[in-house]
Amino acid sequence: MDEQKKISLPEIIIVILFSLIGEVLDIVDMGWIIGFPIQIWLFFKGGGLPFKKQAPSLIGNLVELIPILDWLPWRTVTLLISIYLINHPEVAPKLKSVGKKIAAKQ
């Protein structure tokens, strides 16, 4: 049987809804009010300091600070990536090896 996921489906749905509300609030530059608590929640659900799993969400929050780019749903997309990496820890090492191969070709 599958092992228990760190972040359950109801939690994912609720946090995505809050993230989408944050995206709408970005219209008036107030999305950070929801983005910051979501990042704190992700920090605690992700088990603390595994930066590799939370990096996409942090990057998405930073991109949201750039005018004009904040019109796109970066925070929500990167939040979904971070949730996936937290719930599937076996994927992170594979992504790291793919990143090294891409960097080596350049």
pLDDT in tens, 47-64: 666 666 777 888 887 888
Kindly report the pTM of this predicted structure: 0.75
Measured CA distances, 66 to 9, 20, 26, 72, 75 (Å): 31, 18, 11, 11, 12
Q: Which residues of the chain have pLDDT under 70?
A: 1-3, 47-52, 96, 98-103, 106
Q: Which long-range contacts (CB under 8 A, 24 or more apart) does 27-33 make?
A: 29/70, 31/64, 31/70, 31/75, 32/61, 32/64, 32/65
DSSP state of 27: G
